[in-house]
C-alpha cells in the first residue's frame, strides 16, 4: 500500500505500526499514534510518548496531557476538537530525548498524519517538534510567535511553537509563559481565516 492509497488515519496507523523501522519499537510497550479529531483545525505535535502514553497507547494522557487539557479549556477548546501526536511514536527508554535517527524513522508516519488531517495550524509543543520543521530556531526565542513557511509535504504553512507542557510543570515561570502563549492559538486561527 503506497502513501497515496493510505488516506484515513486508521489506515495510516495500521500500516506504520507494522512497517515503522524505529529502533524504539524493541523497547517500547506499543506504538503511540496520534489521537483526536481527524478534521481538526489545530494539530499539536509533542516530542515522544512517556510512561503513561506507552502503557495506554494514547498521546498526552499523563500529567502533561492533563495540563494540556486545562490549557485547551482556558481558550474554549476541548481535546476532542484537536488532534494530538508526537514526532516519535515510541517511548524512549527512561524518557530520554529521542535521537535523530528515531525521529527520522517516524517522520513519514507524522507527515502522513498531517496530510490526512489537513490542519490550518500546527502547534509545536517543545523544541524537538519545532526543530523537526525549523532546525535553526531556539524555543526560548520563537515561542508564542506565529511562523509562516511553506514546507514540502505539509498541508499548512502556519506554525506556532510553544514550550512543552511537561517542562512547564517543573518550572513556574515557563508555566505562566505557556498559558500566555496558549491564548495566541485562537488569535492565530482568526489571522489564518482572514488570510484565506
CA–centroid distance for 76 within its chain: 20
**In Å, how far are 13, 33, 112 from 2, measured between CA atoms?**
13, 19, 11
At 4, the pLDDT band (50, 70, 90 cuts) reads: low
| Total domains, the chain | 1
pTM (whole model) above 0.85: yes
**Which range marks the domain in which residue 84 is found?**
3-195
Query: What are the pLDDT digits (tens) for 24-54?
Result: 999 999 999 999 999 999 999 999 999 999 9
Question: Which CATH number goes with the domain that contains 139?
Answer: 3.40.470.10
Query: What are the pLDDT digits (tens) for 131-190?
Result: 999 999 999 999 999 999 999 889 999 999 999 999 988 888 899 999 999 999 999 999
Amino acid at each position: 500500500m503506497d502513501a497515496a492509497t493510505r488516506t484515513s488515519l486508521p489506515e495510516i496507523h495500521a500500516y506504520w505500526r507494522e512497517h515503522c523501522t524505529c529502533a524504539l519499537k524493541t523497547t517500547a510497550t506499543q506504538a503511540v499514534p496520534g489521537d483526536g479529531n481527524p478534521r481538526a483545525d489545530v494539530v499539536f505535535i509533542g516530542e515522544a510518548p512517556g510512561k503513561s502514553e506507552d502503557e495506554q497507547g494514547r498521546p498526552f494522557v499523563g500529567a502533561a496531557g492533563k495540563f494540556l487539557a486545562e490549557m485547551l479549556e482556558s481558550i474554549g477548546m476541548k481535546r476532542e476538537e484537536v488532534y494530538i501526536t508526537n514526532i516519535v511514536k515510541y517511548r524512549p527508554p527512561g524518557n530520554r530525548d529521542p535521537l535523530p535517527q528515531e525521529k527520522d524513522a517516524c517522520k513519514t508516519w507524522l507527515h502522513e498524519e498531517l496530510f490526512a488531517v489537513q490542519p490550518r495550524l500546527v502547534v509545536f509543543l517543545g523544541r524537538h517538534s519545532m526543530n523537526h520543521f525549523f532546525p535553526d530556531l531556539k524555543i526560548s526565542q520563537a515561542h508564542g510567535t506565529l511562523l509562516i513557511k511553506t514546507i514540502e509535504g505539509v498541508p499548512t504553512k502556519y506554525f506556532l511553537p510553544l514550550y512543552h507542557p511537561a517542562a512547564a510543570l517543573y518550572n513556574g515561570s515557563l508555566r505562566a509563559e505557556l498559558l500566555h502563549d496558549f491564548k495566541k492559538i485562537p488569535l492565530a486561527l482568526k489571522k489564518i481565516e482572514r488570510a484565506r
